[in-house]
Amino acid sequence: MLILRRFLRDVPAVIGALIVLTLVIVAIFAPYIAPRLAEAFDSNLMMRLKPPSADYPFGTDGLGRDILSRVILGTRPALAASLIVVLGAMVIGIPLGLIAGYRDGWVSETIMRVTDVFLAVPQLVLALAMAQILSGGIWSAILALALTYWPFFTRTVYSETRRVRSALFIDALESLGASRLRILTLHVMPNVAAPVIVRATAGMGFTILTLAVLGFLGVGAAPPDPDWGLTIAESRQYLPQSWWYATFPGLAIFIVVLGFSFLGDGLRDLVDPRLRRSR
């Protein structure tokens, strides 16, 4: 209860949690919430580039499709893709971080030097190159992001494992003959879970933003998918007259990334009060 009260006193964190909760609800019930589900995919050139109105609150796009419905439907692939990317990165990064942090010698050094090489290059550049090699498409973008995001988890788990390894209870377990696998899975992992959760939460927003960038560059989602980044890319030829075409998908990206950022900062403050933001 004390942790919950501390969290509720953090206004930005509560706002972020509400945004993320709203995103999840919208993603689950998107087909039922979208006001014009059929018009989200079917072209109607007679209604193309209509400005926001009572019938079309977000206006229509270059093919006459309802932008509000497409923005709502875009929450599901955005959330699902970011979850897959983060989970995939955790599956790769956490075991490597545990091994490198608990062991000494060439194995640990090799893992961390490879991690440093990946971290030295901007993730977007690596993801863009990999997505191009993998022939493009949303699944190529997801795989490329997962293969470039794991070093962040490896670095986090490595530093936390190094800290836990020096604890007395680890020495006691080793003296009792506990296996290395048992120590890592049952005793080290629970002690490094909190920073991993914080990293995963903040990474969700960053991944959604990066997926939108890849979609904008044409190596992510493909038409007619209701992807936010792809919609912004399609709107370029109609700007600035049809301002609503790019504005509302852009606002969706902004709000979602802001929500995950606020929530991640709030969880970080709970995990380590020394990092608490000044108000």
pLDDT of residue 25: 94
Residue 92, both tokens: 């790769």
CA distances from 50 to 6, 136, 238 (A): 47, 32, 12
Nearest to 67 by CA among 258, 232, 265: 232
Confidence of residue 252 (pLDDT cuts 50, 70, 90): very high
> What 3-state class would DSSP assign to 66?
strand
pLDDT of residue 186: 83
In a domain, 40, yes or no: no
What digits encode the pLDDT tens for the residues 71-85? 999 999 899 999 999
Q: Which of 106-110, 137-141, 222-226 has the highest mean pLDDT?
A: 106-110
Domain range for 218: 13-30+65-275
pLDDT of residue 1: 67
Residue 234, both tokens: 């399609």
Average pLDDT over residues 200-226: 85
Residue 217, both tokens: 């560059």
Helices (H), the chain: 2-8, 11-28, 30-33, 67-73, 75-102, 106-120, 123-133, 138-165, 168-175, 180-183, 189-217, 228-235, 244-271
Average pLDDT over residues 130-157: 85
What is the reported pTM? Answer: 0.86
Instruction: Identify which has the larger pLDDT, 155 or 180.
Output: 155
In a domain, 164, yes or no: yes
Per-residue pLDDT for 272 more than 70?
A: no
Q: Which of 14-18, 109-113, 119-123, 273-277 has the lowest mean pLDDT?
A: 273-277
In a domain, 154, yes or no: yes
Specify the CATH number for the domain of residue 227: 1.10.3720.10
Instruction: Identify which has the larger pLDDT, 169 or 20.
Output: 20
Mean pLDDT value across the chain: 86
In a domain, 23, yes or no: yes
Q: Please state, for a pLDDT cut of 90, what percent of the chain lies above it.
A: 27
In a domain, 3, yes or no: no
Per-residue pLDDT for 3 more than 90?
A: no
In a domain, 20, yes or no: yes
Q: How many domains does the chain have?
A: 1
In a domain, 1, yes or no: no
Q: Which of 79-93, 94-108, 126-140 has the lowest mean pLDDT?
A: 126-140
Average pLDDT over residues 220-234: 85
In a domain, 46, yes or no: no
pLDDT of residue 73: 92
Per-residue pLDDT for 5 more than 80?
A: no
